[in-house]
Amino acid sequence: MTKNERIQKVIAGEPADRLPFALWRHLPPEDMTVQGLVDATVRFVRRWDFDLVKVMFPNRVWTMDWGTGFAPYDRGGGFFPIAEYVVTDLGDWKKLRTVDPVGGAFADQIEVVRMLRQELGPDIPLVATMFSPLTVALELAGEAVHQQALTHGKEVHAGLQLISSIVSDFAQACVEAGADGIFLAVQSARSDALSEEKFQEFGVPYDLPILERVAQRTWFNILHLCKPNMRFETVRYYPVQAVNWHDRGPTGPTIAEAWKIFDGVILAGLDHEGGGIFVSGVPEEAAAQARDAIAQAGGQKFILGPGCVTHLATPESNIDAVRQVVGW
């Protein structure tokens, strides 16, 4: 059974030859270049024979062409810290210029997708990471965007409309380059960011056009609900095949609880954070966490994976132990 076939069986709720398993992480310092990111991704995927590939674009791709100022590359974390925001007053939202969704920083990442598809072949699901428009807005203005949405919604709407159009075009270009779907990362569907009513106004309407743009040419789209205090029921508004979140976090929900809300594929189970068992425990503890996740899933639509980006300090021996649980 190919990896595509295995995932397609899980999506359909049918038995597969074994449980699918995948991790994703930043890949410093190789990921600073197109070829480096491709080579590092291929090595990482092949090392553990993962069942899907989440393409880990550098975080600066989302706002670099708008002029965001970045501090030097953090090799320990695998990202570029933001040093200077583009949006520093409300008038800046209406001044955002259009950037080329298939040029500049975006062009390099489209090439990454194309090269990964060529290197890995057609039989493994490839999903391209997409930041939701409101998540991009956070990269442009910081957490201030949530308060700005409450007090100056007209200005924020103008910025989100432009961002949504650009991310939609970029998503389509990634699909044309070989992606089977997108991994839509949503950071503001949480109680400490916006009310549910306000997220319905500033989040969902700008996210859905991205999924709609690629719907006809994709078969595996994933919603990632990021950060603690997120509202898991938000998944009901998104036409995706799978949902990913930090099920081991303090605000949940657990995998068992999630089944009451979402009837698609659940991608979760491993505590990706630095203090979690998967990162800080011994192989036997990591394997036990994997078995617990599988038991919670109860043979339903399930892919074993992290709640977010896997911590760079995760021991290879722990990954080996989990891989053995799913039948390496």
Identify the structural domains of the chain with CATH numbers, from first to last: 3-325 (3.20.20.210)
Q: How far is CA 185 from CA 16, 153, 165, 193, 299, in A?
A: 27, 22, 16, 15, 26
Q: Is 299 left (phi over 0), alpha (psi -120 to 50) or beta?
A: left
Does 328 score more than 80 pLDDT? no
Q: How many CA atoms lie within 13 A of 295 on its CB side?
A: 6
CA 219 to chain centre: 16
Alpha-carbon distance values, 122 to 3, 54, 177 (Å): 10, 15, 12
For residue 98, what pLDDT is reported? 95
Lowest mean pLDDT among 74-88, 217-231, 284-298: 74-88
* % of residues, the chain, pLDDT over 70: 100
- Stretch among 92-96, 120-124, 265-269 having the lowest mean pLDDT: 92-96
Mapped onto helix, strand or coil, the DSSP state of residue 163 is helix
What is the share, in percent, of the chain residues with pLDDT greater than 90? 93
Mean per-residue pLDDT, 251-267:
95
Report pTM: 0.97
Q: Work out the average pLDDT over 124-151.
A: 96
The DSSP result for 258-325, as a single string, is HTTT--SEEEEEE--STTSHHHHS-HHHHHHHHHHHHHHHTTSSEEEEESSSPPTT--HHHHHHHHHH
The per-residue pLDDT for 314 is 97
pLDDT of residue 299: 80
pLDDT bin (cut points 50, 70, 90) of residue 146 is very high
- The predicted structure's pLDDT at residue 180: 98
Q: How confident is the model at residue 76 (pLDDT cuts 50, 70, 90)?
A: confident
**Which residues of the chain form beta strands (DSSP E)?**
53-55, 69-70, 82-84, 126-131, 181-186, 222-225, 242-244, 265-270, 302-306
* Type and span of the H or E element at 117: helix 104-120
Q: Sorting pLDDT into bands at 50, 70 and 90, what band is 11?
A: very high
pLDDT at 116: 98
Q: How confident is the model at residue 78 (pLDDT cuts 50, 70, 90)?
A: confident
| Contact predicate 225/243, CB 8 Å | yes
**pLDDT surpassing 80 at residue 243:** yes
What the block records as the tokens of 302 is 């399930």
User: Do 24 and 306 meet the contact criterion of CB atoms below 8 Å apart?
Assistant: yes
pLDDT, greater one: 79 or 177: 177
Tell me the pLDDT tens digit for each residue of 14-62.
999 999 999 999 999 999 899 999 999 999 999 999 999 999 999 999 9
**Both tokens assigned to 151:** 């007090």
Q: pLDDT at position 73, please?
A: 87
> Which pLDDT does position 240 carry in this prediction?
98
Contact criterion met (CB below 8 Å) for 106 and 65: yes
Q: Give me the chain's average pLDDT, please.
A: 96
Q: How many Cβ atoms from other residues are within 10 Å of residue 156's Cβ?
A: 25
